[in-house]
Chain A
Amino acid sequence: MKKIQILGTGCAKCQKLTENAKTAAEGLGIAYEMEKITNLNDIMAFGVMITPGLAVDGQVVSTGKLLSPEEIKKLID
């Protein structure tokens, strides 16, 4: 079970990243749990200043970038 977290206050880029992450996880066919973290203080707790951020199993793997589903697949695996 992978835990995928999207860090962002709800801007367009963050929503697009959520969509792409969903596509990526479903493309891999793995069991996953998706969480959107929108509270600023919680985002800070990850050490992310530039949104959108992506964390897998609690580890930040990307910040400030809108990744494509292909790129996310590599990061999830």
Chain B
Amino acid sequence: MNWKQEWKPLAAIVAVFAACYWLPVDWLRASRRVENAFWESLHLVKWYAQEHVLLCLVPAFFIAGAVGVFVSQAAVMKYLGPKANKPLAYGVASVSGTILAVCSCTILPLFAGIYRMGAGLGPARAFLYSGPAINILAIVLTAAVLGPEMGIARAVGAIGFAVVIGLLMHFFFRKEELAKAQAAVALPEPEVARPLWQNALYFGSMVGILVFANWGRPTDATGLWHAIYAAKWTITALFALALAWMLVAWFKVGKWKMLIAAAPVAILVVAVPEHPILPFVAGTIGLSTLTATGKDDDGELREWFAVSWDFAKKILPLLFWGVLVAGALLGRPDHEGLIPSGWIAGLVGGNSLWANLFASVVGAFMYFATLTEVPILQGLIGAGMGKGPALALLLAGPALSLPNMLVIRSVMGTKKTVVFVALVILMAAASGMIYGALF
């Protein structure tokens, strides 16, 4: 018997046995906690389905897909190569996560590449830190569920601290001469299909649809925000028209096909103006059909659809289980799930140094599947977590996890990894305290 390996299942069995042996069945039954948890998780799933899937996630999937297809990774990597201008490299590294890192499996090779063959330790760390936190899907969902301040704080915090952490890492280890990999960097030639301004307008129209379709009702019924809210569907429709025009003019979608796809949308707008969600769904179906059956020579449109669809397939099940589990454990805001709110409020309530530090340490070691940090955090905030510790967890969480630390360690050694993890935890806790004090 090899006890070096067998201790893990043994420990698991003992732990499960002990939990069953002392399972507080009567207490659970009397407090109706399990029953509540069940209904809470269903309520939360329903709320997500009604509020966040159609208007928020679906456009975000299309944008993430477009980023994967139309933004050339090679063009961005030019700024992070071995001869890169250093200040520029920090800047590019800290923001390029928005467009490069839609999937965590692309982050680690890029990080290792920047470190070993490219601009070096500092920019590589900056990229690794900000990448997972500022991808488009994460920011959009954070802003939609946890409020715009939290979404903006997350993006700004991640970018700002990426630069600081990168510079500090560079400073701490400046004496170490790095043995650069001998291999020449193999980057694919960037393919320039259309000028930058066309790409910018194209992404702009999609971001416009996303932002205005999700425009929330402001608390007072006057002023600019309310005017925008009242006109939000008109504005969304204008952005959609712009997108349709661009698809025909620049992406070789047939004029007649576009008219056929747009007809149901127009009919629904006129027939049921009180349900703007119906034309939105029709438009989504139209766009999916047009892109999935696109007949352009280089297959861009089909690839766009394929990549978007891939994201949807990968992320929706994760989010579904994430929401169910978060609902069962923590409940909706102002309701209780399995975990008593008092515990949460005791550990991470308020804005103390301890609460912030605890949140960032837990966030650093825990693994969050893509986007599931959002429902979990929503549950925690509802159960009494302070806003500062919440931001600390958001900033430390997706950037680090135990499995991810092991990979980083294999690339740059134990010492640098420990310093990096410590920096992330301290910075996240500090930013949480600042945010908690401000809001």
Contacts and interface: CB of A to CB of B under 8 A. Distances in A.
B188 A49 contact: no
B108 interface: yes
Interface in B319-372: none
A65 B191 CA distance: 12
Q: How large is the interface on A (under 10, 10 to 19, 20 to 34, 35 or more residues)?
A: 20 to 34
B402 interface: no
Contacts of A49: 77, 109-110, 112-114, 117-118, 185-187
A44 B186 contact: no
A51 to B, nearest CB: 5
Nearest to A39: B410
Interface of A: 8-12, 40-41, 43-51, 53, 60, 62-65
Nearest to A62: B188
Nearest to A49: B113
A12 B188 contact: no
Given A40-B407, A45-B181, A50 B105 contact: no
Interface residues of B, number: 27
A42 to B, nearest CB: 11
7 contacts: A8-B109, A9-B105, A11-B103, A43-B112, A45-B183, A50-B73, A50-B113
Nearest to B116: A44
Contacts of B411: 40-41
B76 to A, nearest CB: 10
Contacts of A50: 73-74, 77, 106, 109-110, 113, 187-188
Interface of B: 73-74, 77, 103, 105-106, 108-110, 112-114, 116-118, 181, 183-188, 310, 314, 407, 410-411
A47 B181 contact: yes
Given A44-B109, A48-B113, A50-B110, 4 more contacts: A9-B109, A44-B113, A50-B188, A64-B74
A12 B74 contact: no
Nearest to B314: A12
Contacts of A53: 186
Contacts of A43: 109, 112
A38 B183 CA distance: 17
B73 A40 contact: no
**Across the A-B interface, the 4 shortest Cβ-Cβ residue pairs:** A49-B113, A47-B183, A11-B105, A47-B186
B315 to A, nearest CB: 12
Contacts of B187: 49-50, 63-64
Given A40-B410, A50-B77, A11 B106 contact: yes
A61 B114 CA distance: 20
A36 to B, nearest CB: 14
A47 B184 contact: yes
Contacts of A63: 186-188
B110 A44 contact: no
A31 to B, nearest CB: 26
Contacts of A12: 310, 314
Nearest to A51: B109
A6 to B, nearest CB: 13
Nearest to B103: A11
Contact of B188 (A9, A40, A41, A65): A65
Contacts of A9: 105, 108-109
Given A49-B113, A50-B187, A40 B108 contact: yes
A45 to B, nearest CB: 6
Contacts of A41: 112, 410-411
Nearest to A50: B73
B252 to A, nearest CB: 20
A40 B114 CA distance: 13
A70 B403 CA distance: 37
B259 to A, nearest CB: 31
Contacts of A44: 109, 112-113, 116-117, 181, 183
Contacts of B109: 8-9, 40, 43-44, 48-51
A65 B73 CA distance: 10
Most A-side CB within 10 Å, residue of B106, B116, B314, B411: B106
B130 to A, nearest CB: 17
A18 to B, nearest CB: 14
